[in-house]
Amino acid sequence: MNGKLWTIILTGVFALAGTVVGGWLEAESKIELERTKLDSSVISLALSQKTEQERQEFLEFLVATNLIKDQETKEGLKVYFEGPDAKSPPFIAPELNTALTERTIENASNTDIDFFICQKDIRNEALIQLLRKSHAAISEHGKFGESKYKSWGAALYKEVSEEELRGKATVIMDFDHPEYAEWEGIKSRLKSVDGQLPVVFMDNRGKNTPWRLSVILCAE
């Protein structure tokens, strides 16, 4: 075999090896990135739990079961649940415009609910927890569909000012839709929540919102 052919073969082999190694390194990098994203997601979920104890127990579970792979991250999380001087885990509010109750085949034909918190209160931990409990009180009834957590901004619904919403849990419904008959039951379930704001009802003053009603919580 002449030298030129050897050169072509060796060049091809090295090129193929480079491609394989490069592809392997790229795949490893992508796997590591996804692993980091997963760790971040489950930690965020742990820190969105209602109480300090729940957040501590969730973080301890993640570490104990090796669901968090990075050793430095695991060691860092231990300060929130190990020893008598364990720190209080921070609270992370749920991400806006995310589902509180997912849409399923079973609930797809039910009335959907938007749970709002006033824009000024999006970092108000107590009000966020009240919203979660309000959602649970309604959703466990089993007659409603998808629920989403959203922020109520000043420009969202101009027919109602923020002043009208302050210090209340306001339910807005379309008067000509079937869910209108659910008002008394919704009011009763909301009022059953510990620490609930005064519950008031309001007809939708803007455009109709088919198959959806709104619950807005706003601090004073």
Written as one string, the DSSP assignment of 103-148 is: --TTTTTSEEEEEEEEGGGTT-HHHHHHHHHHHHHHHTTS-EEEEE
pLDDT for the residue numbered 195: 93
pLDDT for the residue numbered 8: 47
pLDDT for the residue numbered 215: 92
pLDDT for the residue numbered 154: 60
Q: What is the pLDDT along the chain (220 residues), one digit of tens a residue?
A: 445 444 544 565 555 555 555 555 566 666 666 667 677 777 777 777 767 788 888 888 888 888 787 888 888 888 888 888 888 887 666 666 677 788 788 877 788 888 888 888 888 888 988 988 898 888 876 678 888 888 887 666 777 788 889 999 999 887 767 677 778 888 899 999 999 999 998 887 766 665 568 899 999 9
Give the C-alpha separation, 143 to 140, whole Å. Answer: 8
Query: pTM of the full predicted structure?
Result: 0.57
Cβ contact 111:179 at 8 Å = yes
pLDDT for the residue numbered 190: 92
Top-tier CATH class for 98-218 = alpha beta
pLDDT for the residue numbered 47: 76
The residue extents of the domains of the chain are: 3-80, 98-218
Torsion of CA 130, 133, 137, 143, to 10 degrees: 100
Cβ contact 182:111 at 8 Å = yes
pLDDT for the residue numbered 168: 94
**What is the helix (H) or strand (E) element at residue 213, kind and residue range?**
strand 212-218
Give the chain's end-to-end CA distance (angstroms, integer). Answer: 88
pLDDT for the residue numbered 54: 84
Q: Residues 120-127: contacts with CB within 8 Å, 24+ apart?
A: 120/162, 120/218, 120/219, 121/217, 121/218, 121/219, 122/93, 122/96, 122/151, 123/93, 124/219, 125/91, 125/93, 126/195, 127/217, 127/219
pLDDT for the residue numbered 132: 87
Residue matched to tokens 């919203």: 131
